[in-house]
Structure 1
């Protein structure tokens, strides 16, 4: 099963509901044993829809950010393996969706991984901090957050937070090869093991 994010992967209430509904459909179909997440064209996901956020009252905007992190929590404990096939730019929440996946395969020749909050005058909420700290090494966290730099696929792989890079033509082939050994595993076991692996992050998400 491939979940494709549309409209440049900009998350507002409508697109978040669509994403969660897709996850619900996967959970309801016991025949599905793996999930690939990808985007369209040159973009994996741009992240939070800033036009929506800036138009809302601060409390409403913050509540929506927490809702987005609840979705991240679902991925972190999803009872089947999840692989992000990163076809292009993964910014902000889009980068976090990739980090929350079990494995990441990224296009090698185009597209950047970026946490741009410093350039947007924003800070990460505690659950976001927990995600990046637990999924990236200290140097990568420091450089990504304090510079807002755009990291290519090969550089992200070298830094250790992307598992594999390949051409666009073989992106889904490589993603399917990575997920293959995990297909058909017991859902209860997979979900429980992932909850244990990601407990530090999930605790922050659930406390929000």
Structure 2
């Protein structure tokens, strides 16, 4: 399950299981519970602080837990609502947020990364991808609204309608990520960037983000209804 470590004033939230470097970090309901609990703890901390999220090994996150969705189609709508609530929480988090993309960032994982203030991606391996079109899976309106609000319009259009995979350099050139780094420096760069912003944490930061992305937040927090399982398999 996810866990947290500290580096100075920066909380580093690891999405994977400690000691298991290649977890796909899919959004199982138990995983969401754990992440929400850790975010509660981080948010309650007093003083300067920032948040970095990252994976271990070759994955940041692959997004929705498709195996769980297929086995629990009767719970699909409430599940998507929970995923989108997590997106909204990160988008408006009252701490500076940085995603350290050390590996593949697919579907809902890419949407979650987009919700962060800043993204650092490994330059040589791993892909940023929104593959719904390739498997006949659409996205909930809130997820589309988040992507439209946070990423360059022409680039996100192409990513969504082609399902193309982007390596770190291409993702940086298109504005999907803010910088790239060698594998061993991705997390270091992310923490350094976050550390430089720790003084901005607090209610005002959260309010600014909430106002800046008000339309996307409203869409993310609007309950979905009558989604077919195949329509939702790729990121909410």
Indicate the TM-score class for this superposition, using the shorter chain for normalisation: over 0.9
Q: In the comparison of the two structures, how many residue pairs are matched?
A: 207
Q: Distance in 2 between matches of 1:205 and 1:10?
A: 19
The answer to whether structure 1 residue 146 and structure 2 residue 156 are counterparts is no
Q: In the TM superposition, what is the alpha-carbon distance from 1:186 to its structure 2 partner?
A: 4.5
- Contact in 1 for aligned 2:114/2:176 (Cα 8 Å): yes
The answer to whether structure 1 residue 34 and structure 2 residue 50 are counterparts is yes
Equivalences for residues 26-175 of structure 1 within 5 A: 26-31=42-47, 33-57=49-73, 59-175=74-190
User: Which position in structure 2 is the counterpart of 1:201?
Assistant: 216
Per the normalisation by structure 2, the TM-score is 0.84
Aligned CA distance change for structure 1 residues 83 and 207 (closer, same or farther; 3 Å): same
Return 5+ residue gaps in structure 2 as ranges. 1-10, 17-22, 224-236
Q: In the TM superposition, what is the alpha-carbon distance from 1:19 to its structure 2 partner?
A: 1.0
Aligned CA distance change for structure 1 residues 185 and 137 (closer, same or farther; 3 Å): closer
Q: Which of 10, 14, 33 is matched with 1:17 structurally? A: 33
Q: Distance in 2 between matches of 1:24 and 1:14?
A: 15
Q: In the TM superposition, what is the alpha-carbon distance from 1:25 to its structure 2 partner?
A: 1.1
Q: In the TM superposition, what is the alpha-carbon distance from 1:39 to its structure 2 partner?
A: 0.3
User: Which position in structure 2 is the counterpart of 1:177?
Assistant: 192
The superposition leaves residues 92-143 of structure 1 with CA deviations (integer Å, 9 ceiling, x where unpaired) of 1110111000000000011100111112211111101101111222221221
User: Which position in structure 2 is the counterpart of 1:3?
Assistant: 13
Structure 1 stretches of 4+ with a deviation exceeding 3 A read none
**As a proportion of its length, which structure holds more helix?**
1
- Contact in 2 for aligned 1:26/1:32 (Cα 8 Å): no
- Contact in 2 for aligned 1:12/1:48 (Cα 8 Å): yes
Q: Distance in 2 between matches of 1:14 and 1:173?
A: 28
Q: Distance in 2 between matches of 1:161 and 1:200?
A: 20
Q: Distance in 1 between matches of 2:83 and 2:183?
A: 28
Per the normalisation by structure 1, the TM-score is 0.95
Q: CA RMSD in A?
A: 1.3
